[in-house]
Structure 1
Amino acid sequence: MKTVTTTPAATGFRQLTSYEIDYPMYAVCHFWSIDAYIEEFRMDVYYWIKTSCSLSDDQFGDPYYFELIHAQCIKLLEIAHVLFSDYADFKIDKDHPLRRQRFSVFGHYLEDQQVLRCPDLYFRTLDGKEINDVTIFFEDFFEFKSLDEWYLILDQLLINSREETSVVRNAEIGPLILEINEYLEKLMESIYVVYQTQAINFIAEHHPELLD
């Protein structure tokens, strides 16, 4: 069993430890096995962004958890950056049950399915090509905004979720808020694809305690 270090990494990352950077599959599996459940997290992020966009003092979801949601989004962002920078192969094997034979979005994909099952149900925003190879999404994600720009966006969302100001009035972020929301939803789905297709095997060998 590998030894885990829990000190923050001296790389400019805010959330990942040095161990998680060296072994990103550990970070992936810890996040989805211990830290968060994808459907609950999806709604938490949605309500957090909705609160950030509110033109009044209305709050959606539980504001007590907004800082945690922000930190978790930062962690997923950093995991994606490490995975993308590693130039790893994330293509799903042709015989893998998660592989999409059609490249259409979720609604059209369901038309061909007789049984709705997990984890297929979790991938509602990624299209078929992005599921079959999440590198396609990572390229798009970091072409849309750089790592530092994503930090600024997430920080601004946190600020606006705490104050009676709306992020939609931000000249740079406001016009893109719908795209940002979709990208963040795709981000969590993409890391969950890696969790289902690669991380669980790594953890079963090196950190079985995460699967207990």
Structure 2
Amino acid sequence: MENKLHYTYLSEEEKDNPVAFIVEFCTCECDLNGFREEVGDMIKSACSKKKFGNSDHYFFNYRQLLKFLEVGYIFFSEDLTFSLHQNEPVSGLDKIVFGTHFESIRPSCFRLLSPNELKDTNIFFRDFFAHQDINEWRHIFSQFVEYAYRLSTIDEVMEDGSEMVILREYTEKLIEVIYLIHHIHQTADNDESKKAVRTLKTFINDIK
């Protein structure tokens, strides 16, 4: 099936259970603000002759972005939605999503996702993959890491330098939505959320 060609960076285990990959990464590897900052440093380095952050981390973060991309494409392909409870105000996001363990995290951590995207993650994925397809995003991310290590800047090879502002915003929103899915999944205790995870597992088994 054609979709199988798209998942080249996720392991077989991660393809079988992308939600488990999200939970493991977001819990064990890096928190939202830390990962967003490190990816931001890589992008700033790509746009500058200076190096920002720890350049030893650029390639690792690039690989994780590619995995985020492929996980997002699975959700997009199946039109699978993770959402906050529709009766809850977005302003209460810290209590809704994070639970007691995450009370110190403010809703402003999700600073780019719109209220509608917070309540329906696939609204973001539809917009994201309409802007660029999965292979175009792969190429963009590879340019980020390539030019982060170079003295020349990525702006020098782009026809429209202002496009970098848009690409950076989309990249940050991708990070936000993956962490949002993690926290929704971790605190989900309603039948719809559990059904969504079961549906995803069925979908992955069907395309094997």
TM-score interval (norm. to shorter): 0.7 to 0.9
Q: CA–CA distance in 2 between the matches of 1:185 and 1:169?
A: 22
Q: Which residue of 2 aligns with 1:16?
A: 10
Asked if the contact 1:14/1:74 (under 8 Å) is kept, the reply is no
Please report how far the alpha carbon of residue 174 of structure 1 lies from its aligned counterpart in structure 2 after TM superposition: 3.4
Determine if the alignment matches structure 1 residue 176 to structure 2 residue 163.
Answer: yes
- Identity rate, percent: 26
Q: CA–CA distance in 2 between the matches of 1:188 and 1:41?
A: 8
Q: CA–CA distance in 2 between the matches of 1:131 and 1:12?
A: 26
Q: CA–CA distance in 2 between the matches of 1:144 and 1:172?
A: 16
Q: TM-score w.r.t. structure 1 length?
A: 0.75
Question: Structure 1 pair 20/172, CA: closer, same or farther in 2 (3 Å)?
Answer: farther
Q: Which residue of 2 aligns with 1:88?
A: 80
Please report how far the alpha carbon of residue 119 of structure 1 lies from its aligned counterpart in structure 2 after TM superposition: 5.3
Two-structure CA RMSD over aligned residues (Å)? 2.5
Q: Give CA-to-partner distance per residue, 1:139-197, whole Å, 9 cap, x none.
A: 00000110000000011111111111100112257331000110011001111111111
Q: How does 1:64-79 map to 2 (within 5 A)?
A: 64-79=56-71
Match of 2:21 among 2, 10, 27: 27
What secondary structure sits across from 1:69 in the alignment? Answer: helix
Q: CA–CA distance in 1 between the matches of 2:32 and 2:149?
A: 24
Q: Which consecutive unaligned segments of at least 5 residues does structure 1 have? A: 1-9, 103-115, 206-212
Q: CA–CA distance in 2 between the matches of 1:11 and 1:30?
A: 24
Query: Which has the larger displacement, 82-91 or 189-198?
Result: 82-91
What secondary structure sits across from 1:19 in the alignment? Answer: helix
Question: Structure 1 pair 48/159, CA: closer, same or farther in 2 (3 Å)?
Answer: same
Q: Which residue of 2 aligns with 1:109?
A: none
Please report how far the alpha carbon of residue 15 of structure 1 lies from its aligned counterpart in structure 2 after TM superposition: 2.4
Please report how far the alpha carbon of residue 94 of structure 1 lies from its aligned counterpart in structure 2 after TM superposition: 2.3
Please report how far the alpha carbon of residue 200 of structure 1 lies from its aligned counterpart in structure 2 after TM superposition: 5.6
Determine if the alignment matches structure 1 residue 139 to structure 2 residue 126.
Answer: yes
Bigger share in helix: 2
Question: Structure 1 pair 139/32, CA: closer, same or farther in 2 (3 Å)?
Answer: same
Determine if the alignment matches structure 1 residue 160 to structure 2 residue 147.
Answer: yes
Question: Structure 1 pair 23/29, CA: closer, same or farther in 2 (3 Å)?
Answer: same
Asked if the contact 1:101/1:128 (under 8 Å) is kept, the reply is no
Q: Which consecutive unaligned segments of at least 5 residues does structure 2 have? A: 93-102, 195-208
Q: CA–CA distance in 1 between the matches of 2:126 and 2:62?
A: 22
Residue type at the aligned position of 2:78? D
Asked if the contact 1:25/1:199 (under 8 Å) is kept, the reply is no
Count residues with an aligned counterpart.
178
What secondary structure sits across from 1:174 in the alignment? Answer: coil
Asked if the contact 1:29/1:200 (under 8 Å) is kept, the reply is no
The ranges of structure 1 where at least 4 consecutive aligned residues each deviate by more than 4 angstroms after the TM superposition are 199-202
Please report how far the alpha carbon of residue 11 of structure 1 lies from its aligned counterpart in structure 2 after TM superposition: 3.9
